[in-house]
Amino acid sequence: MDVANLASQLNAGAILPEGAVILTLMVVLIGELALGRASAARWTPYVAIAGLLLSVGLLCLQWDLTPTLSFLGSFNADKLSIVLRSIIALSTLVTILMSIRYVEQAGSSIGEFMTILLSATVGGMFLCGAEELTMIFVSLETLSIASYLLTGYMKRDPRSNEAALKYLLIGAASSAVFLYGLSLLYGLSGGETHLSAIANALAQGTNHLGLLIALVFVIAGISFKIAAVPFHQWTPDVYEGAPTPVVAFLSVGSKAAGFALAIRLLTQAFPAVVEQWQFIFTALAILSMVLGNVVAIAQTSMKRMLAYSSIGQAGFVMIGFVIGTEAGYASMIFYLLIYLFMNLGAFTCIILFALRTGTDQISEYAGLYQKDPLLTLALSLCLLSLGGIPPLAGFFGKIYLFWAGWQAGAYGLVILGLVTSVISIYYYIRVVKMMVVKEPQEMSDVVLNYPAINWTPLGMRPLQVGLFVTLIATSIAGILSNPLFTLVNNAVVEVPHLQTANAAKTPMAILPTTTPELPAPLVSNSDSTAL
Amino acid sequence: MILSTLIWFPILGAIALALVPSRYLKWAALILSGSILLGSLWIAYQFDITQPLIQFREDLPWLATLGLNYQLGVDGLSLPLIILNTLLTWIAIYSSPEATERPRLFYGLVLLISGAVSGAFLAQNLLLFFLFYEIELVPFYLLIAIWGSEKKSYAAMKFLLYTAVSGALIFVAFVGLVWLQGADSFAYTALAGNTLPLWQQLILLAFVLIGFGIKIPLVPLHTWLPDTYVAASAPIAMLLGGVLAKLGTYGIFRFGLGLFPEAWGTLAPGLATWATVSVLYGATVAIAQKDIKRMVAYSSVGHMGYILLGGAALTELSLVGAVAQMFAHGLILAILFHLVGMVEAKVGTRELDVLNGLMNPLRGLPLVSALLVLGGMASAGIPGLVGFVSEFLVFQGSYAVFPLQTLLCVVGTGLTAVYFVILLNRTCFGKLDNAIADFPKVEWRERVPALILSLTILFLGLQPTWLVRWSEASTHAMVAVLPPVTQVTTLAQVLDRE
């Protein structure tokens, strides 16, 4: 294989967006080393923001290119991966907007923080397109290790240390299990590492039990990442101890990466056991929706409440995943996109409140409307959107999910989703009640001593921008969801293996999906699973 | 266009109130709500009463993937309710006290509700209806929780959760219908006249009935009502009982009767019995109350039963009566809540045992008491007032089909008279205790809402054509497509037919 041929096989252009992020990361790191922490803090955040915007822009440019496998088949830059990578890059972008002031006020270095956060982003973005076992594991570990570091970033805060240690121990164990699952796949397929090659090899094999064990191990690893019950044990403690911007990233960016991994790995490598993985994920979805939403009611800390609510939200997203229809995948990704704005919006508000008052307790929000109407409005809208109240974005996201679920015949899941949404309204509205309904005389002490609103200190402007962007997106993304959903739908339609999973499971799909000439190995898979 | 105005004018106005100086807030809100009232009257003027179909259609594509399009229209069923909504919004804003705290939020939320409720009445797309139906949830929660009286927080949360459950049930019914029917859109016209097997219709109808039954509310789904109505301030109670409950009855007629006529016919005897239970329960419990606001709240439970009875009987007359009863009940409940609120504001109590002799011309509240008597009479169905017209039509239309249930409901109106006699006797008559009779004066402008409502009640009572002519063509068309109820009376027959 000569060099020219190799270069054409590499298709290095496919990872230009990641390249932009890596370049930014290095500029930020070296800039801080060269110019010192204080002066670098003035411009590195903007470099990081610009780099992420550039990365999203490059992703948009890639939209119309014909998807090609790059790096000898280990990275797939199809539209699905473009959408998911954009979600991760955007979540980092909003996280940086909200973290500058937070890290600054805590007296830590913003440059280092952003370097680690951007590494996590790179890992997550690669994970979205990874189609090869080594690639998957390396990018997953990049994301995970960076996340552990971020969790422990407030090194003087014992709770942050505790959270980091817990996260590291459980995360390392789950990585080991996941890796063991991958090694089983490698062995069962006779030494294949590319996902479609594995599927191809497994379709002819008969070793069902081994495959199931591999499946269970892999799902355990993924569920850890998306914090699905019962693999959620780390979430509340880590969310409570970790710096709030990190929590925001973990609950959106990291979770989106987990779902990206789930879509690619499960639908592509396990078409032989579609029924089984859909069954396991149905159970996970049920448990997550019920436990996440019920336990959130009892929380007194805002961060813990959002931790449990994010478990519940992941449960809703899993509805779209398990039904295995095109509309299901599309509505799932659409929900992730909506969830990005509303959840990060809520976190931006919490950070703003914590910066001004130094607390996260729900009871301390009492009477906030008097002192800070903008924050009250923004947090109320984001929480109501999470609860699925129209005409906010979350309502439409849920409608898409439930409608897709119902069309695929998952009546039980949809009804459970509706019931748990009603429960979730209860705890979201509790916070709104605290802020809006309480009389001036019932105001909490911290709100009584609320500082004058001042947007001038370093990092407050970006926070304000983040607040407005997420607020506007949460308010109108639902009403204007037609172009967005069409975009996501196009991304899903173009991925062949999502349709085979679909055809094997439910022949009565919504639209009569004409599946024209599928690649040869995939046809044989769908035949074997259709039996 | 005019229909969209009814929705968007108040909603955008609610946002625009943020910019109005606080001195002019009430004026601005009054002008906004007054103009939508005029708008709805103008629609009534333009409305062709001989035409049973949907008029003033608007149809814009929105989210085609979901089958959710912006489809509006008005017919004889929704027109009276639209007018009721805009009228009561204006009155609620007018009658809210000058000293309302946080007026910007208050008027904004009331206008928002008005727009959302109009949207729900006008929506010709099931998902659009559901969207508007859910929008009023949080504003009402806040209106009860912030401006309510004692136990407001508990009552508001109870209201919120019940309504959210009701929304979930309705959503299941809608989605189920569209899926079973295999339609690609939630448009009402595409779903009416569906050809589902009877058992599927029955299941979906059950979801619709329970969902809207919570909203109306019907016994035994009514437990949120007394708490909520009592905790809410007078203008909000007016909107809750006058307008919001009508969303439930409207929903049952439009989406229960209209979409599943066959199943409705099958269940009709059961529905009539259910209605009777509601009527008798509401009336007897009202008799036992010691709190006049709570009494009025329970009277609402009873009166909603007549509407369901009229719907169950499915004759042209009973349906016209039911629609008239929706309008009449809205007016009557509004005036009662308004006057009870006035009594509470002036006298400082709602306890039957404390109140006495308010009719006293010098030191009492003579005009308020007189209008309260009128409201009580209208509610008890005394001839010459609007309540009589609608109840008479319902009973006249239903008697031939369900004689027993109708007779029991007539007994229910008798019981209504009993508790209103108790209420009026204790509150208005008797000797006024001089020790406590030092009430603030009732200003003329405070009398305006009650006078408007009582004149409307009186006028429509004397000239009932103005009340019923809007809905005659539409209800006629509704009955025309229905199988006569009397043929199928028991479930056994249904099963035989299957």
Beta-carbon separation of B168 and A422 below 8 A: yes
State how far the Cα of B126 lies from the Cα of A85, in Å rounded to an integer.
Answer: 36
- Predicted pLDDT at B350: 87
Confidence band of A500 (pLDDT split at 50, 70, 90): low
Q: How many CB atoms lie within 10 A of CB B480?
A: 9
- Chain A environment of B160 (Cβ under 8 Å): 425-426, 429
Q: Averaged over B232-250, what is the pLDDT?
A: 93
Could you say which of B131, B156, B179 has the minimum Cβ distance to residue A407?
A: B179
CA distance B40 to chain A (A): 24
With CA atoms as reference, the chain A residue closest to B129 would be: A390
Find the residue in B nearest to A380 (Cα).
Answer: B138
CB contact (8 A) between residue A391 and residue B131: yes
CA atoms within 13 A on the CB side of B448: 12
**In terms of CA atoms, which chain B residue is nearest residue A405?**
B175
Cβ-based contacts of B179 with chain A (< 8 Å): 406-407
Q: Which of A200-209, B53-62, B408-417 has the lowest mean pLDDT?
A: A200-209
Cα B61 from chain centroid? 30
**Contact residues, B window 391-420, toward A, CB-based 8 Å cutoff:** none
Q: What is the rounded distance in angstroms from the CA atom of residue A408 to the CA atom of residue A413?
A: 11
Test mutation, A403, A427, A476, chain B, max B CBs within 10 A: A403
Q: Is B179 on the interface with A (CB under 8 A)?
A: yes
β-pair partners for B55 = B74
Q: Which residues of A touch B62 (CB under 8 A)?
A: 482
> What is the full DSSP assignment across B283-327?
HHHHHT-SBHHHHHHHHHHHHHHHHHHHHHH--HHHHHHHHHHHH
- B66 with A421: Cβ contact below 8 A: no
Q: ipTM of the predicted structure?
A: 0.89
Residue B229 has pLDDT above 50, yes or no: yes
For residue B483, what pLDDT is reported?
59
What is the rounded distance in angstroms from the CA atom of residue A33 to the CA atom of residue B5?
61
The pLDDT assigned to A504 comes to 46
The secondary structure of residue A512, as a DSSP letter, is -
Q: Which residues does chain B have within 8 Å of residue A394's beta carbon, measured at their own beta carbons?
A: none
| pLDDT tens-digit readout, A345-361 | 999 999 999 999 989 99
CA distance A320 to A331: 6
Using the beta-carbon criterion (under 8 Å), do A436 and B141 form an inter-chain contact? no
Over residues A170-220, the pLDDT tens digits come to: 999 999 999 999 999 999 888 889 998 888 888 776 667 888 999 999 999
Token pair, residue A224, equals: 């850890």
Nearest to A422 among B64, B135, B164 (CB): B164
Number of domains in chain B: 1
Using a CB-CB cut-off of 8 Å, the residues of chain B touching A400 are 65-66
- Whether A386 contacts A313, CB under 8 Å: yes
Flag whether pLDDT at B200 surpasses 60: yes
Contact A390/B134, CB-based, under 8 Å?
Answer: yes
Q: Does residue B15 belong to the interface with chain A, where contact is any CB pair within 8 Å? A: no
DSSP string for residues in B47-89: --TT--S-EEEEEEEEEGGGTEEEEEEE-TTTHHHHHHHHHHH
Strand partners, B58: B72
> Which one-letter amino acid corresponds to residue A467?
L
B451 contact A CB<8A = no
Task: Find all residues with CB under 8 Å of A137, minimum gap 6, and list them.
Answer: A178, A179, A182
Residue B137 contacts A, CB cutoff 8 Å: yes
Mean pLDDT rounded to a whole number for chain B: 89
Q: Can you read off the two tokens belonging to residue B137? A: 């949830």
Q: Does B62 touch chain A (CB under 8 A)?
A: yes
Closest-CA distance of chain A to residue B71, Å: 15
Share of chain A above pLDDT 90, in %: 64
For residue B135, what is the nearest residue in chain A, using CA coordinates?
A390
pLDDT confidence bin for A495, thresholds 50/70/90? confident
Residue B127 near chain A (CB below 8 Å):
yes
As beta bridge partners, residue A69 has A76
* Shortest distance, CA A357 to any CA of chain B (angstroms): 25
Check pLDDT > 80 for residue B141.
yes
In angstroms, the CA B426 to CA B376 distance is 13
Give yes or no for residue A499 having a pLDDT over 80: no
B186 contacts B174 by C-beta, under 8 angstroms? yes
The pTM (predicted TM-score) of the whole model is 0.90
With beta carbons under 8 A apart, name residues in chain A contacting B64. Answer: 482
Asked if B165 lies within 8 A of A486 by C-beta distance, the reply is no
Q: Per residue in A22-59, pLDDT tens?
A: 999 999 999 999 988 888 888 999 999 999 999 999 99
Say whether residue B134 is in contact with chain A using an 8 A CB cutoff: yes
Say what the pLDDT of residue B196 is.
86
Q: Taking a C-beta distance cutoff of 8 angstroms, is the pair B286, B229 a contact?
A: no
pLDDT at A206: 64
Report percent pLDDT > 70 for chain B. Answer: 96
What integer best gives the mean pLDDT of chain A? 88
- Rounded to the nearest angstrom, the minimum Cα separation between A80 and chain B is 19
Instruction: Give percent helix, percent strand, percent coil of chain B, each to the nearest 5.
Output: 75, 5, 20
Question: Mind telling me how many Å the CA of B456 is from chain A's nearest CA?
Answer: 35
pLDDT average, residue stretch B41-50: 90
In B45-62, which positions are buried (b, 16+ CB within 10 angstroms) versus exposed (e)?
eeeeeeebebbbeeeeeb
Residues of A in contact with B138 (CB under 8 A): 384, 389, 429, 432
- B131 neighbourhood in chain A, CB within 8 Å: 390-391, 395
Per-residue pLDDT averaged across A447-471, rounded? 91
Q: Give dist(CA B39, CA B118) in Å, integer.
A: 12
Return d(Cα B384, Cα B400) in angstroms, integer. 24
The mean per-residue pLDDT over the stretch B217-233 comes to 91
In chain B, residues with a C-beta closer than 8 Å to the C-beta of A399 are 66, 68, 127
Which of B66, B135, B179 lies closest to A390 in CB terms? B135
Q: Is the pLDDT of residue A523 over 90?
A: no
**pLDDT of A207:** 67
Q: Could you give the CA distance from residue A293 to residue A423 in angstroms, rounded to a whole number?
A: 7
Quick one: which of B141, B164, B110 has its CA closest to A422?
Answer: B164
Measured CA to CA, the distance from residue A316 to residue A396 in angstroms comes to: 13
pLDDT of A362 strictly over 50: yes
Q: Would you say A481 and A396 are in contact if contact means Cβ atoms under 8 Å apart?
A: yes
pLDDT interval class at A526 (50, 70, 90):
very low
pLDDT of residue B442: 81
Mark yes or no for CB contact A400/B141 under 8 Å. no
Best of B60, B65, B154 to disrupt the A interface (most A CBs within 10 Å) is B65
CB nearest B66 (choices: A390, A403, A419): A403
Cis, peptide link before residue B139, omega less than 30° from 0: no
Q: What is the number of alpha carbons within 13 Å of residue A206 lying toward its C-beta?
A: 0
**Closest Cβ opposite residue A419 in set B131, B156, B168:** B168
| pLDDT score recorded for residue B447 | 86
Chain B CB contacts of A398 below 8 Å: none
Q: Contact B172/A418, CB-based, under 8 Å?
A: yes
Per-residue model confidence (pLDDT) at position A270: 87
Which chain B residues are Cβ-neighbours of A419 within 8 angstroms? Answer: 168
pLDDT band at B491 (very low <50, low <70, confident <90, very high): very low
Tokens of A439: 């009389």
pLDDT tens, residue by residue, A389-398: 988 999 999 9
Chain A residues within 8 A of B14 when measuring between CB atoms: none
Distance, in Å, from the CA atom of B493 to the CA atom of B402, rounded to the nearest integer, reads 18
Domain that holds residue B40: 2-496
Is B124's pLDDT higher than 90? yes
**Which member of A396, A406, A426 has the closest CB to residue B175?**
A406
Least CB-CB distance to A402: which of B153, B165, B175?
B175
> Does the pLDDT of residue B68 top 60, yes or no?
yes
Cis peptide before A230 (omega within 30 of 0): yes
- Distance in Å, alpha carbon of B167 to nearest chain A alpha carbon: 9
Judge whether B104 is closer than 8 Å to chain A, CB to CB: no
Residue B29 sits at the chain A interface (C-beta within 8 Å): no
A&B contacts, CB < 8 Å: 71
Residue A3's pLDDT band, with cuts at 50, 70 and 90, is: low
